Structure 1
Amino acid sequence: MELLFPQKKFGARRIMVFVREHWLLPLLTLALLARFYNVTQPTVWYDEAFSALVSTYSPALIWYYSGQDVHPPLYYLLLHGWTVVFGNGVFAIRAMSVVAGVMSVALGQWLVSLIATRRATIWACLLLALLPIAVRYSQEVRMYALMGVWLMGATITLVYWVQDPSRQRYPVSYVVLMTAAFYTHYFAALCVFSHWLYVSLPSKHGRFLLRPAWWLANIAIVVCYLPWIPHLMGQLSHTGAVDWIPPPSFDTLPSVIWQFLTLDDGRTLPWPLFLGLPLMVALATLAVITRDNGPHKFHTLIALYTAAPLCTVFLISFKLPLFTTRYFVFAALGLPIILAIALDHLALRHRRLAVGCLIALVALEVAGLYNDYTQNNKLNNSTSVLNNRVATMVDDLNQHFIPGDQVVVYDLYWYLSVLYYNKTHTQPLLYTPPSSGGLAARPGINGAGTLFYQHPNTYYLDRLSDLDTKARRVWLLYGSEVKDYVPVPASWHAVSVSTLGNTQLRLYAVERDNDVTEKKLTEE
């Protein structure tokens, strides 16, 4: 019967997992609820708005515009298809990342079930379900949650492949998943690096590195990636696109552990406490490696999957800063697995201590979720995100907009969000006054500017006075943290000013020359 109906048998086994492992469905439901909770509350900020806007174009244009930015195109292409089916509302576009985040939890527990005990699997699934960094980026219209799906899936495939190298479907699956990861984010290369380190390790069955199938699979990944290589080379030529990333310091690695588990960098804590948690994580990782007595060293694989990307980019960043927490969401998924395996080992001799440590970790994660839901975290220039009230301001604008009004946005950071929320059926303009030296201040062809440079007169406004003959009223939106007050023409008269958080919306009535003439004639 197994030979006649292999698919049926496999499907039955998967269903039995949910029946037998009665804890699995509740934990996956917990993961779903944690990611959907408050998902529409934060304003769609700059990066998210870019994703939403790019996804509205055709696949060919998405491919082109992605080439002018800093990331590959697959996420935007999938988001394009997602919005065709579910729409482009805030809930809809963030739901795609929520689904990817829950899939990562399911894949994580699958991976642990292959390499560790049932108890470790349950604990890992719980910690993955509540992992704050994973929840945070499962609520964002970006590619980080999706990247975790591809790389966790590729790691599972590698485990199956090492266990049974004769099965050809495993290398094929590995190629597909890893190619998808490379087309989603360039840091997929760090996961490949960790896999190469793993297959280079000696084992009782020899080095997997020496098998031709491993080399053929990696060659196939490169071949599948060739169509994107010209765009990659072009992106490498404008490294200024990542000049916002600060260089690393001695506390970068300890800080990122705190961010994974609490969404707080921990730098305000007393140094013994600040270093204590990362030290315990390091000791747990070391214990997992040293006690890895399995024939395939799969626990070591998870340690490499988590630690190798962090350490590699940390060292590279002293030359070219690239270390930013959200790029490591995929690696963070390995941390709960390491901790669960370590606690499982501890429980063999000190069960109460292990359970106490598990409770402490869950408490840390709950604190991290609180930081997420209140937007009280230090990720994605969070002070702006916390006080970014563009959604409220533009909603007010949409309600009070009168045909013939004009909308002007002071800064590109706010402009993309305004474009997303705008329902006025008029084209908002980005105010781009020349610098004091007379140089143009319009965005270049790279980054978000690539969406507008072909039609500059449609999107850019260099002088506010140009609107004197085009509009009766002008809405001016900008961040209230802007130090220099935006001078407006003398013919503009303030009607209202609204300030929420870091966002300010001003309404002006424009007095035209013929209005002045008519006023004088009336007085006479």
Structure 2
Amino acid sequence: MSLQQRPPVLPVHRTAAKRRSFDPVVVAAVAVGISAAGAARPSLWFDEAATISASTRSPAQLWRMVGNIDAVHGLYYLLMRGWYAVFPATEFGSRLSSALAVGLAAAGVVVLGRQISTRTVAVAAGLVFAVLPRVTWAGMETRSYALSMAAAVWLTVFCVLAARRGRPWWWLAYALLLASATLLNVFLLLIVPAHAVAVALAGSTPRDIRLWAAAATGAATAVTPFLMFTQSQLFQVRWIAQLGSHTVGEVLEKQYFDRSLPAALGAGAILLAALVCGSWPATGRPGRLLPVLALTWIAVPTATLLAYSALRNPIYYPRYLSFTAPAFALLLGLCIVALARSRIGVAVVLACFAVAATPNYLAQRGPYAKENMDYSAVADVIDRNAAPGDCLVLDNSAAWKPGPIRPLTAARPDV
């Protein structure tokens, strides 16, 4: 008689927990793949050339530069300087940093969604984020937009965690992270009202609320000199148009959908249907946390930039609100799950949304997708045909916002 040895059987709850722990990693990998695909094809353009130019300078040169222009990008340039110490300043080598930042942000969306809602909502929101046109644009743009998304969502994750732990040192760390995030993107300070909602609806005690308020106030106070200094460089955004009828389209379409009208209409239909049907997966204070947090995260920064633009100087531009994209993905993911009910239904709706966003995704990856600029093509021609002693004549009289010729030679330092 022989005994057959059977492999140990893991408890069902332990296996399910293990699968849940991989959700952020899987969604992050999907998001990175989507953003990185075709990232080498579009030509570099003015803003990306500015990033390469600034980030390949010495620390002393960079410090002098941000004293005159681009102070709001100083921390990002410093981080990219470290990136270029490892990766080449090519189209793909530069944009890979943003694709990885999108993956980090997508993982954060899943983690935050799981903190304040269900696993299904968290994964759905993460996948919405991965295919959202504003995200697929930021994921192949060598600027701080993708990194600001990651900073915003993980700062919110930390805020919710701190509210539930209730330890003073958590709030000290939160203050340091909030100040650092503001140095990365000055508009990230506008996420504070959303965090007030998170703390209030997370079941915090009055003591915890006071600790959060002290941390947020301390961070805001610490970065005030920096914010005041950046006011002296507002001349750099004089090209932004005054508010007008076009602003409605910018807010409703371009802010999250780039130039994808089908994706905007599809998302609008989902949000409207959820509102009309009142289909929310939970009720009470815990059930309100996600929608109220997301709406505050979206509405306050948008309204603030619009109000400042109307009353003082125009600063509203759709891509400047990229750090609110995680909130929109969470809200849309919640509505999709509430309406679809089943996982199969959720998968179908997500697939339809991805299909609606596909034409714009492909357009983003065209050779001249970035404002029709051809810096890379010019660099390729020079690289193929230039000989020692040749001269390069640049006509800087062509006007754009600002002139496109000035940073041309910085776009591809290898040529």
What's the TM-score, normalizing by structure 1? 0.66
Alpha-carbon distance in structure 2 between the residues aligned to 1:352 and 1:20: 18
Q: Does 1:361 align with 2:357?
A: no
Task: Give CA deviations for 1:33-64 in whole Å, capped at 9, x if unaligned.
Answer: 11111111112111111111111122243233
Q: Work out the number of aligned pairs and report it.
A: 393
Task: Give CA deviations for 1:175-198 in whole Å, capped at 9, x if unaligned.
Answer: 232122111111112212433465
SS in 2 for 1:85: coil
Task: Give CA deviations for 1:234-254 in whole Å, capped at 9, x if unaligned.
Answer: 431343321211123356345
Q: Does 1:406 align with 2:386?
A: no
Instruction: Extract unaligned runs of 5+ from structure 2.
Output: 1-13, 397-402
Match of 1:339 among 332, 335, 343: 332
SS in 1 for 2:194: helix
More strand by share: 1
Task: Give CA deviations for 1:353-402 in whole Å, capped at 9, x if unaligned.
Answer: 766544432322333322322378xxxxx6xx353222222222233223
Alpha-carbon distance in structure 2 between the residues aligned to 1:282 and 1:333: 19
Alpha-carbon distance in structure 1 between the residues aligned to 2:247 and 2:220: 32
Q: Is the 8 A contact 1:284 1:339 kept in 2?
A: no
Please tell me the residue identity of whatever aligns with 2:395: Y
Q: Say if 1:54 and 1:355 are closer, same or farther in 2 by CA, change over 3 A.
A: closer
Q: How does 1:47-446 map to 2 (within 5 A)?
A: 47-70=47-70, 71-165=72-166, 167-196=167-196, 199=199, 211-222=209-220, 224-225=222-223, 229=225, 232-250=227-245, 252-260=247-255, 262-264=257-259, 266=261, 278=268, 281=271, 284=274, 292-295=283-286, 297-299=288-290, 300-319=292-311, 320-348=313-341, 357-374=349-366, 385=370, 387-411=372-396, 412-421=403-412, 423=414
Please tell me the residue identity of whatever aligns with 1:327: Y
When structure 1 is superposed on structure 2, of 16-25 and 96-105 the one drifting more is 16-25
- The CA deviation at 1:90 is 2.6
- The CA deviation at 1:306 is 2.1
Alpha-carbon distance in structure 1 between the residues aligned to 2:101 and 2:268: 28
Alpha-carbon distance in structure 1 between the residues aligned to 2:414 and 2:32: 31
Alpha-carbon distance in structure 2 between the residues aligned to 1:141 and 1:113: 30
Alpha-carbon distance in structure 1 between the residues aligned to 2:383 and 2:184: 35
Tell me what 2:8 maps to.
none
Alpha-carbon distance in structure 1 between the residues aligned to 2:15 and 2:282: 33
More helix by share: 2
Q: Say if 1:373 and 1:351 are closer, same or farther in 2 by CA, change over 3 A.
A: same
- The CA deviation at 1:93 is 1.9
Instruction: Extract unaligned runs of 5+ from structure 1.
Output: 1-13, 377-381, 425-524
Task: Give CA deviations for 1:41-92 in whole Å, capped at 9, x if unaligned.
Answer: 1121111111111111222432332232242411001001111122323322
- The CA deviation at 1:172 is 3.1
Q: Is the 8 A contact 2:52 2:410 kept in 1?
A: no
Please tell me the residue identity of whatever aligns with 1:233: M
Alpha-carbon distance in structure 2 between the residues aligned to 1:399 and 1:371: 27
Alpha-carbon distance in structure 1 between the residues aligned to 2:174 and 2:65: 28
Please provide the CA RMSD for this pair.
Answer: 3.4
Q: Is the 8 A contact 1:262 1:371 kept in 2?
A: no
Q: Is the 8 A contact 1:120 1:340 kept in 2?
A: yes
Higher relative contact order (CA 8 A, sep 6+): 2
Alpha-carbon distance in structure 2 between the residues aligned to 1:122 and 1:280: 17
- The CA deviation at 1:103 is 0.1
Please tell me the residue identity of whatever aligns with 2:254: Q
- The CA deviation at 1:18 is 5.8
Q: Say if 1:161 and 1:23 are closer, same or farther in 2 by CA, change over 3 A.
A: closer
Q: Is the 8 A contact 1:263 1:371 kept in 2?
A: no
Alpha-carbon distance in structure 2 between the residues aligned to 1:15 and 1:407: 64
Alpha-carbon distance in structure 2 between the residues aligned to 1:203 and 1:33: 34
